[in-house]
Amino acid sequence: MQARWFTIPGSHKIPLYRFKDGTHHASQEEMEQWSAYIRGEMARRGIHGETFLARKGDLFIWHSDLVHGGSEIGDPTKTRRSLVCHYFTEADCRKQKDSHLEELNGALWLNRLPPPVYTAPERFGPDRPFPEELYLRRHSDVRAAVAGGAMPSGFHHYQHYGFAEKRPI
């Protein structure tokens, strides 16, 4: 199965959106306004998205202002590992929620949660273990319940409650 990425060729030429703090540094609270601005500019310029189908060994490098993203995982049994690197200013990193900066080898690294994934509990088994620590990191209430003995594990919570509640992994 090929990885699917969407890109909006030419979107990097759209004048940057200015957030309330006067900068171009993304703010989660204003992402709806940013998205409306980008959609409007795309319509005005007549530009549309394209799908990039990556094959094994492909390398995809894009401009930092190119609108892009990944598609939903259609079949988790047919995915493969990939490496995606983003470079941010220290100021942008400090604004990120659910993350922290770590110093390593003379550089700062942004430690943040990966994008949320929703998948049926039965997809996990001996060959595909449940990412327990990731689930507990994402859901502090479940972590507290497990630590306090009210819940046997994060996976138990996900099987019996979390999946039905549409909680991501």
| pLDDT one-digit tens code per residue, 113-156 | 887 888 999 999 998 999 999 999 999 999 999 999 999 999 99
Question: What's the sign of the alpha-carbon dihedral 101, 103, 108, 114?
Answer: negative
Q: Which residues of the chain have a pLDDT value below 50? A: 1-2
Domain ranges of the chain: 1-81, 82-112, 114-169
pTM for the full predicted model: 0.55
**What does the block give as tokens for 70?**
């990944």
Q: Who contacts 7 (Cβ-Cβ below 8 Å, separation ≥6)?
A: 49, 50, 52, 62, 66, 67, 68
Contact yes or no for 47/40 (Cβ under 8 A): no
Strand order in the sheet with 50-54: 50-54, 3-7, 68-70
Please state, in angstroms and as integers, the Cα–Cα distance from residue 31 to each residue in 5, 36, 145, following that order: 20, 9, 32
